[in-house]
Structure 1
Amino acid sequence: MKNCIVIGGGVIGLCTAYYLHKEGHQVTVIDQSSMDFGASYVNAGYLSPSHIIPLAAPGVMKKGLQWMFNPSSPLFIKPRLNSNFLKWTLAFNASCSSKNVQKGIPAIKEIAILGRDLYTDIKNDENFSFQLEKKGLLMLCQTEKMLEEEIQVAETATKEGLTTKTLPKEELQKLYPDTAVQAIGATWYECDAHTTPNTFMKEMKNYLEASGVRFHKNEKIENLSFNNGKIVSIDNSTHTYTADEYILTAGSWSNQLSKLLGINLLLEAGKGYRINSDRNLGITIPAILAEAKVAITPMDGFTRFAGTMEIAGINHRINQVRVEAIAKATQRYFPNIELTPEEKGKAACGLRPVSPDGLPYIGKSSKCNNLTIATGHAMMGWSMGSATGKLVSELISDKKPSLDLDVYHPDRKF
């Protein structure tokens, strides 16, 4: 048994704590927040092996530059005179290649499928009640060009063994009998599932606390002691913590601590927004509005509208222009759905940690023997959360990992 400290209490941190506990380790979770907000609570709730194309793909950087002066665009990269941001931007640009896509497809698919299936195992094993439905995911398209692109992606997914189909407009309307759909067609990933994130997070925290996992909330780790290739302790102005193994799952804040060890973890915070509606809007199957990059999910008792990728540093400011963009896009595809000022006024955001190549960092850096890094999942943190937790626990328990981790190595070059 090892004494383990997990730094960060989002979905990656909680799932890591869960699997470490299952392996018999002593676990402490430390988080700088109250652990009831952020990316793990405001995401679209998708368990989506369908998302096989990494964020860094051909043409994305060019599109980002075109959108740079449009604050309502799906991808908004705010230029900053910051050395870390400039290094990340250069690495991201270099990763926007066909080679990166070919590397990313199997890496994303395998960990996302493992993650999807592990959520089912967790629910069954612990008798959790969180929503877990396997209705698939629709990619709704309004233009022939986008539909052709989505069909190509679906054909790639089919070759990878995922279950997909293409639907004409008439079939789409049958899937949404209670609301009008404005789209010419869609691809349907029947392999996907969806959840209600805050319910899962609450149940997992309650389970872990009842099982003896210790939590220290509102505790920001500011320093660490390092000797002979190992972390000796971590601390802030009021507390010092020691452990055998340290796991860094602090999301967009992870590189702030990794720098103290000389680990240059290229990472940028990608802000996403969500709007919730408690009204019955007729959305029964999760959908992504392909041109607008907006996700719509029928959750447990409400419907969630989520989207945008705003790379503008670490902040939780709500940009109302981007909130309005989500609402307007929704009404373009579903003309009968008009989000109210009150619903838009309660919009929330979360920061997703984005690596330059769109793949997570999972593993031990050569610079520190007792630190395992698990961050950088971009928009796939929820999908990959359970799988990442299991992989980390296998590393620390000296077991053969369920997946080959070389492609996720935190020391990889860009």
Structure 2
Amino acid sequence: MSINKLEGIITNRTESDVVIIGGGIIGLFCAYYLLEEGKSITVLDQGQMKDSCSYGNCGLVSPSHALPLNSPQLLLKAMIWLFQKNSPFYIKPQMDMEFLGWMMGFAFNSFNKKQLEKSMKGRASLLKDSRTLYEVIFKAHKWNCNWAPTGIHFVYSQERNFNAYKSKDSKLANLGLAAEPIIGKELFNKEPALSEHAYGSWFYKIDASVNPGKLLNELRGHLVSRGVEIKELCKVDTFKESKGRITEITTNRGVFKARDVVLATGAWTANLAKQLKLKIPVIPGKGYSITMKSPTIQPSCPIIFEENKVVVTPWKEGYRLGGTMEFSGYDTTYNEHRLQTLKNVANLYLKEPYTNEEVEDWYGWRPMTNNGLPIIDKSPVHNNLFVACGHNMLGLSMAPSTGKLITEMVIGKEKHLESDPYAFA
């Protein structure tokens, strides 16, 4: 059922058990599990569904991404990429102290073995749990969102890079996430869409994918049909506080009250949190995608061209290229070089890399933390505020587990996962 057909169900409720600020995939899965506990819920979203980072990503549900981005090797690559026009990484020159502090923290965490271990295990826990929860959800609901538990290829063109990845896979293997290495003819037999530019793949059978836009639409429809009120184009202006509690939320669409509040505003969280005397080290990392009609020769499952950080995801009725990381603040312009890079990389690896029937060019801001871990915790300042943010590039992959954890915190239920890795520092 579409959102438009459900508009007549929506009321003008101004007081709820829980107000969730943020209508992306994290906020909506918080609503999903809170609804299961019988809570009345209002979701306030400053934009529309297409504005969220959840909408235009490549739809990967990928426990294989347990390793954080932090590493000395990535720092070295990043320095090289800065001087390459078509690199997957770009930093816009800026004298922003918060950004510089974030980058220093990222560099420090890249050499901190204890933090790297904590980040890896914390990410793996959320990713594996969410992968299981997705299976439960899609068994319970016949949502049309192209759920495909087909695995994901990490493809390399260079033998030395392929072999170097083995050390990373060994770390994942210790977490029960080992890949199957596939080389040459065996790889082309398994994935005929690849060109001979590909040398080998590390294939993660546990990974899956969805069409994120369709998932958001189905999830929103489910929530609204059961009484959740979603207010789009609803920008939070101020908070009223009393005795360590948020008592009112003033927006451009009125004043809202709730017993509990969940802050799930993605890359915007740090700015909003300042009003609440919270310091949240999240900055925007801009990513791009191109959605088009499916080519004749389409991959059988998502492929990550690991050396170039570009992803291709096939669906029954569409095809998406995505990737790149651009630290340019909240810049709203399309960088044509970023979009062209996606096509250039696909052209190297795929027999039919893309079609000219493009449906949509898109960009969104990923909520990046400098240690690779999200924050899922109760506010240290407010008794009734809970924060779920900073999922980096893995919001879709971590959303169900995050929503369940937040729900357990809100209602005071025993947590199904150890939540210490996601606590405020």
TM-score, reference length from structure 1: 0.94
SS in 2 for 1:379: coil
Candidates 72, 77, 81, aligned match of 1:58: 72
Q: Is the 8 A contact 1:43 1:274 kept in 2?
A: yes
Equivalent AA in structure 1 for residue 212 of structure 2:
P
Candidates 123, 129, 152, aligned match of 1:137: 152
Q: Is the 8 A contact 1:108 1:359 kept in 2?
A: yes
Q: Is the 8 A contact 2:376 2:387 kept in 1?
A: yes
Q: Is the 8 A contact 1:87 1:266 kept in 2?
A: no
Residues 67-96 of structure 1: per-residue CA shift (max 9 Å, x gap): 234353212222311222122122112111
Equivalent AA in structure 1 for residue 40 of structure 2:
Q
Q: 1:174 to 1:113 in 2, by over 3 A?
A: same
Candidates 211, 231, 243, aligned match of 2:258: 243
- 2:92 corresponds to: 78
Q: 1:69 to 1:270 in 2, by over 3 A?
A: same
Equivalent AA in structure 2 for residue 24 of structure 1:
G
- 1:351 corresponds to: 365
Q: Is the 8 A contact 1:316 1:350 kept in 2?
A: no
Deviates more, 1:149-158 or 1:303-312: 149-158
SS in 2 for 1:313: coil
State the Cα distance separating 1:103 from its structure 2 match: 1.4
State the Cα distance separating 1:342 from its structure 2 match: 5.5
Candidates 266, 282, 288, aligned match of 2:281: 266
What aligned pairs does 1:10-409 form with structure 2 within 5 A after superposition?
A: 10-97=24-111, 98-178=113-193, 180-278=195-293, 279-334=295-350, 336-340=351-355, 343=358, 346-409=360-423
Deviates more, 1:137-146 or 1:68-77: 68-77
RMSD in angstroms over aligned alpha carbons? Answer: 1.8
Q: 1:231 to 1:181 in 2, by over 3 A?
A: farther
**What is the alpha-carbon distance in structure 2 between the residues aligned to residue 147 and residue 166 of structure 1?**
9
Equivalent AA in structure 1 for residue 306 of structure 2:
A
SS in 1 for 2:66: coil
SS in 1 for 2:165: helix
Equivalent AA in structure 1 for residue 325 of structure 2:
M
**What is the alpha-carbon distance in structure 2 between the residues aligned to residue 238 and residue 17 of structure 1?**
20
Equivalent AA in structure 1 for residue 280 of structure 2:
L
Q: Is the 8 A contact 1:175 1:285 kept in 2?
A: no
**What is the alpha-carbon distance in structure 1 between the residues aligned to residue 367 and residue 56 of structure 2?**
14
**What is the alpha-carbon distance in structure 2 between the residues aligned to residue 338 and residue 396 of structure 1?**
46
SS in 1 for 2:301: coil
SS in 1 for 2:64: coil
Q: Is the 8 A contact 2:19 2:258 kept in 1?
A: yes
**What is the alpha-carbon distance in structure 1 between the residues aligned to residue 73 and residue 267 of structure 2?**
25
Q: 1:224 to 1:69 in 2, by over 3 A?
A: farther
SS in 1 for 2:41: strand
Equivalent AA in structure 1 for residue 381 of structure 2:
K
Equivalent AA in structure 1 for residue 184 of structure 2:
K
- 2:8 corresponds to: none
Q: Is the 8 A contact 2:368 2:390 kept in 1?
A: yes
Deviates more, 1:194-203 or 1:162-171: 162-171
**What is the alpha-carbon distance in structure 2 between the residues aligned to residue 178 and residue 23 of structure 1?**
45
State the Cα distance separating 1:323 from its structure 2 match: 0.6
Q: 1:288 to 1:178 in 2, by over 3 A?
A: closer
- 1:6 corresponds to: 20
**What is the alpha-carbon distance in structure 2 between the residues aligned to residue 119 and residue 316 of structure 1?**
32
Q: Is the 8 A contact 1:234 1:240 kept in 2?
A: yes
**What is the alpha-carbon distance in structure 2 between the residues aligned to residue 238 and residue 303 of structure 1?**
37
Residues 205-262 of structure 1: per-residue CA shift (max 9 Å, x gap): 1110100001111011021112222111111345111111110111111111111111
Equivalent AA in structure 1 for residue 250 of structure 2:
D
State the Cα distance separating 1:277 from its structure 2 match: 2.4
**What is the alpha-carbon distance in structure 1 between the residues aligned to residue 68 and residue 225 of structure 2?**
37
TM-score, reference length from structure 2: 0.92
SS in 2 for 1:132: coil
**What is the alpha-carbon distance in structure 2 between the residues aligned to residue 24 and residue 87 of structure 1?**
42
Equivalent AA in structure 2 for residue 402 of structure 1:
H
State the Cα distance separating 1:53 from its structure 2 match: 0.9
Segments of structure 1 that go 5 or more residues without pairing to the other structure are none
